[in-house]
């Protein structure tokens, strides 16, 4: 049996993990499971595509960084799109979730997010049709890295990016003021408010960070597979599974949960074929809820 599935699984797991970090943060700070998070991933990919298109249209095509399939427009475009996706999440909060928070029904926000998710996805289909799009049509040669595993240069670059983002997130949450405030609100919102933490600022930061991370997973997926309006929504179940597996609120848990889901999916594809891939996340989710609902690194509620 080839070990290729491990490399594929790790890659898929890294992008699931990045998405799940945003989901677990919004869940633990705003206290609802946000069904629009998958669509932030799709929007992130399309926004990147749009900004890259605008940049190359304005300044002319740029050279690729050999051996990668992309050049500097994707890097600049990706950074801009991260900010834009964060703003999109923030906008949705101001228009929809903030007024609903005032009336105080957590689960109504889940319904609203379910509706908003469908609207966001259909909007992409309206703007870009459901035909797949690509950042680049350049063909990538997978390079053998030993043990019979092959990796494309783009995949390697994206793995590096994911690692950098996770480490940056770790320092943001442990070493900065806003990061510590976010952790405080996630542990106890009432107490955080009492000690003078600006909860509104924490909520803004949460949406911005969650949106930006979703955008990174969108770019990872778009660069290595393709860009479709459904791409993020199809990832939603693995995202939920990863967040629950790792324990709601735990950033490292979400990453490790993502890696587990990614490797399990790739392993299942190897063993039973790709048809039932999307059921793997569900099996993991149910198993975790039955055995240890607070997740690997979660804290018991109460």
Partner 1 sequence: MIDLLGYSAFFLVNALIFGVLCLGLNLQWGQTGLFNVGVAGFAAIGAYASAILTTPEAAERIGGFGWPILAGWLAAMLVAGAVAALVGLATLRLRADYLAMTTFGIAVTIQVIALNATALTGGPFGIAFIPRPFVSLAETPIAFNAANLALTAAVVLGLFLVLETLTRSPWGRVLRAIREDEAAAASLGKSVNFYRLQAFACGGAIMGLAGAMQAHFIGFIAPDNYLSILTFQVWAMLIVGGSGNNRGALIGAVVVWALWSLSSLAVGTFVAPAFQARAAALQIVAIGVALAAILLIRPRGLVGERATVSRDVEALAGESAAPHEPVRD
| Contact set with partner 1 (CB under 8 A) | 27, 32-33, 35, 96, 99-100, 103, 106-108, 110-112, 114-120, 122-123, 125-126, 129-130, 233, 236-237, 240-241, 244, 275-276, 278-279, 281-282, 285-286, 289-290, 293, 301
Dist CA 162 CA 133 (whole Å)? 22
Dist CA 184 CA 136 (whole Å)? 42
Shorter beta-carbon distance to partner 1: residue 241 or 264: 241
Q: Residues in the chain, how many? A: 302
CB of 209 to partner 1, least distance (A): 20
CA of 109: how far to CAs of 100, 176, 246, in Å? Answer: 7, 29, 23
Shorter beta-carbon distance to partner 1: residue 196 or 302: 302
CA of 118: how far to CAs of 35, 107, 301, in Å? Answer: 9, 17, 31
Shorter beta-carbon distance to partner 1: residue 115 or 160: 115
Dist CA 302 CA 292 (whole Å)? 15
CB of 4 to partner 1, least distance (A): 23
* The token pair that represents 54 in the structure block: 């605008």
Shorter beta-carbon distance to partner 1: residue 198 or 234: 234
Shorter beta-carbon distance to partner 1: residue 54 or 108: 108
Dist CA 25 CA 248 (whole Å)? 8
Q: How many CB atoms lie within 10 A of CB 190?
A: 8
Shorter beta-carbon distance to partner 1: residue 122 or 163: 122
CB of 84 to partner 1, least distance (A): 19
CB of 116 to partner 1, least distance (A): 6
* The token pair that represents 144 in the structure block: 């053998």
150: β partners: 144
CB of 66 to partner 1, least distance (A): 38
Helix (H) or strand (E) holding 247: none
CB of 28 to partner 1, least distance (A): 11
151: β partners: 143
Shorter beta-carbon distance to partner 1: residue 33 or 206: 33
CB of 288 to partner 1, least distance (A): 10
Shorter beta-carbon distance to partner 1: residue 164 or 272: 272
Query: Cα 101–175–177 angle (5° rounding)?
Result: 45
Alpha helices in 105-225 (DSSP H): 106-128, 153-175, 177-187, 189-194, 199-224
CB of 93 to partner 1, least distance (A): 12
Query: Cα 207–213–214 angle (5° rounding)?
Result: 85
């Amino acid at each position: 049996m080839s070990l290729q599935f491990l490399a594929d699984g790790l890659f898929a797991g890294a992008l699931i993990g990045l998405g799940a970090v945003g989901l677990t943060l919004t869940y633990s700070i705003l206290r609802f499971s946000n069904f629009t998070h998958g669509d932030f991933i799709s929007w992130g990919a399309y926004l990147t595509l749009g900004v890259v298109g605008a940049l190359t249209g304005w300044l002319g095509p740029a050279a690729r960084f050999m051996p990668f399939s992309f050049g500097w427009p994707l890097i600049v475009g990706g950074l801009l799109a991260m900010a834009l996706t964060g703003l999109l999440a923030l906008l949705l909060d101001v228009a929809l979730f903030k007024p609903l928070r005032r009336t105080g029904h957590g689960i109504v926000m889940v319904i609203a997010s379910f509706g908003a998710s469908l609207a966001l996805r259909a909007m992409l289909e309206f703007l870009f049709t459901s035909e797949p799009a690509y950042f680049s049509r350049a063909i990538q040669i997978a390079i053998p890295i030993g043990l019979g595993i092959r990796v494309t240069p783009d995949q390697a670059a994206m793995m590096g990016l994911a690692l950098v983002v996770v480490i940056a997130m770790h320092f943001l949450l442990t070493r900065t003021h806003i990061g510590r405030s976010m952790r405080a609100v996630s542990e106890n919102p009432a107490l955080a408010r009492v000690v003078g933490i600006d909860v509104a600022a924490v909520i803004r930061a949460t949406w911005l960070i969650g949106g930006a991370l979703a955008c990174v997973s969108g770019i990872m997926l778009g660069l290595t597979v393709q860009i479709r309006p459904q791409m993020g929504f199809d990832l939603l179940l693995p995202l939920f599974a990863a967040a629950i597996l790792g324990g709601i609120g735990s950033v490292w848990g979400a990453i490790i949960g993502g890696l587990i889901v990614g490797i399990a999916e790739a392993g299942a594809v190897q063993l039973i074929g790709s048809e039932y891939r999307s059921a793997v996340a569900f099996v993991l989710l149910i198993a975790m809820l039955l055995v240890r609902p607070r997740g690997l690194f979660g804290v018991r509620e109460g």
